[in-house]
């Protein structure tokens, strides 16, 4: 029987959950590393005398690394496999964080943040693709959103380190703790299975057969009869930019661009924006920690709804509500309003991130899944690079409230682009979609 048809018929079980936690642990450590720049930026700015523009550049340099990492990692994953890219990129990210903690001067902080971003950018789209390629279609969207939910765990860890470590021990202690991914990468590299879909697409059917057989042994009862699955076929990279994939590539890339700009421009700067509104550093970090807690139920809501309503409606709806609460946060005039609207922004914005990570790999065929997901993520990183810098430049002109309202407009624009993709993938096999 066809190995991919047999993989698709498997019910959700222990092998899928093991893969989810193997990838999710690394995903959380990645998020912690990305979040550290947000929670250490006020301390870094004080130590090195950075003005808002310089602080914005420091917030952007890691995202520049993520741009190149996404482009390179996606192509390497389609050529050499998902497993190798996920393992080595995680090691690179952890090493970059360790070197940031040891940086002797500000220029070296910039260099090491770039290398950290290079590893993070390569790992994230490939890990989401790997999770989707193993998951049965009835649960695929939910599993990828749950993988993305580990981002909230990592961001919470970053918030805790920013709140507990930075005031007491300085920013270097926080980045030293962020080096944990390097220690985990060796275990991850040995423990992850390779994608059977990638193996079949590369002509390594015997290896795919052996891997699927090992997963089948984890289900002792009778399994449903497999339904024939379309075989992955080779495609050139240029197919991403020709019909029928062109519309998906274009509008999905634009949605990633606007989502990254709205998210990173707001959340990397949020502690600093609260300080600019008159809150103390410790109080602003405390507020952001509480706001971050709302990310977890946002992911869980999206994980439930993507299999009920579909990926596209959840993504568009959550982005629209993110825009609304970003605007309301920009007009908040009391601590209670800051916490309420900030928490609702985090809830819907991070739920949208879960939906876009579930949606993106499903829109590209197996032969180009890593490349397609990597390309749109790389375009997204351009938005993420520009937004923190632009936030620093616009802050003296617009003030904290005007900057937050601007990012709400970007999130609304992301929803328009996501709607324009025009395809729903819920309930369809990967090759059908």
pTM, 2 dp: 0.84
pLDDT digits (tens, 9 = 90+) for 93-126: 888 989 999 999 999 999 999 999 999 889 888 9
Helix 14-48 to helix 140-164 angle (10° resolution) is 30
Domains, in order of start, for the chain: 1-219 (1.20.1250.20), 239-432 (1.20.1250.20)
Asked whether the bond before 195 is cis by omega within 30 degrees of 0, the reply is no
What mean pLDDT do residues 122-142 have?
Answer: 90
pLDDT digits (tens, 9 = 90+) for 293-333: 888 899 999 999 999 999 999 999 999 999 999 999 888 87
Burial (CB count <10 Å: 0-12, 13-18, 19+), residue 93:
buried
Burial (CB count <10 Å: 0-12, 13-18, 19+), residue 309:
middle
Residues 220, 213: Cα–Cα separation, whole Å: 12
Q: Is 278 helix (H, G, I), strand (E, B) or coil?
A: coil
Measuring CA to CA, how many Å separate 54 from each of 49, 71, 111, 156?
9, 26, 14, 26
Residues 125, 96: Cα–Cα separation, whole Å: 19
- In 278-414, the DSSP E strands lie at none
* Alpha helices in 49-101, H assignment, sequence order: 52-80, 82-101
pLDDT digits (tens, 9 = 90+) for 188-232: 767 889 999 999 988 898 999 999 999 988 888 777 777 777 777
Do residues 39 and 162 make contact, with C-beta atoms less than 8 angstroms apart?
Answer: yes
Residues 322, 317: Cα–Cα separation, whole Å: 9
pLDDT band, residue 41 (cuts 50/70/90): confident
Of the candidate ranges 211-225, 365-379, 404-418, the one whose mean pLDDT is the lowest: 211-225
Helix, strand, coil percent content, the chain, rounded in steps of 5: 80, 0, 20
């Amino acid at each position: 029987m066809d190995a991919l048809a047999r993989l698709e018929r498997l019910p959700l079980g222990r092998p899928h959950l093991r893969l989810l936690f193997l990838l999710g642990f690394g995903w959380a450590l990645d998020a912690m590393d990305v979040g550290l720049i947000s929670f250490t930026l006020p301390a870094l700015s004080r130590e090195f005398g950075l003005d808002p523009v310089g602080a914005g550049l420091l917030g952007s340099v890691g995202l520049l690394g993520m741009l190149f990492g996404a482009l390179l990692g996606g192509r390497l994953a389609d050529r050499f496999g998902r497993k190798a890219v996920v393992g080595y990129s995680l090691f690179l990210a952890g090493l970059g964080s360790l070197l940031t903690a040891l940086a002797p001067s500000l220029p070296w902080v910039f260099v090491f943040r770039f290398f950290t971003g290079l590893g993070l950018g390569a790992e994230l789209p490939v890990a989401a693709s790997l999770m989707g390629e193993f998951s049965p279609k009835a649960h695929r969207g939910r599993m990828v959103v749950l993988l993305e939910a580990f981002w909230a765990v990592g961001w919470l860890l970053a918030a805790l380190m920013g709140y507990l470590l930075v005031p007491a021990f300085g920013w270097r202690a926080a980045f030293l703790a962020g080096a944990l991914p390097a220690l985990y990468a060796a275990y991850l590299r040995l423990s992850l299975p390779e994608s059977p879909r990638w193996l079949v697409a590369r002509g390594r059917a015997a290896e795919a057969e052996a891997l699927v057989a090992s997963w089948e042994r984890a289900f002792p009862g009778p399994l449903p009869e497999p339904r024939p699955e379309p075989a992955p076929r080779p495609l050139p990279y240029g197919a991403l930019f020709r019909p029928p994939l062109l519309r998906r590539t274009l509008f999905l890339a634009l949605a990633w661009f606007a989502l990254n700009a709205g998210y990173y421009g707001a959340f990397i700067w949020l502690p600093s924006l609260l300080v600019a509104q008159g809150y103390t550093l410790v109080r602003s970090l405390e507020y952001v920690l509480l706001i971050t807690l709302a990310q977890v139920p946002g992911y869980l809501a999206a994980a439930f709804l993507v299999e009920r309503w579909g990926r596209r409606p959840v993504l568009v709806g959550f982005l629209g509500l993110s825009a609304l609460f970003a605007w309301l946060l920009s007009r908040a005039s009391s601590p209670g309003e800051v916490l309420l609207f900030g928490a609702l922004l985090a809830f819907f914005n991070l739920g949208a991130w879960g939906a876009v990570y579930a949606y993106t790999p499903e829109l590209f065929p197996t032969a180009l899944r890593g490349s397609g997901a990597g390309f749109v993520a790389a375009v997204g990183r351009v938005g993420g690079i520009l937004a923190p810098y632009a936030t620093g430049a616009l802050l003296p002109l617009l003030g904290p409230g005007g900057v937050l309202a601007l990012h709400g407009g970007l999130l609304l624009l992301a929803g328009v682009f996501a709607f324009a993709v025009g395809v729903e993938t819920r309930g369809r096999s990967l090759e059908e979609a």
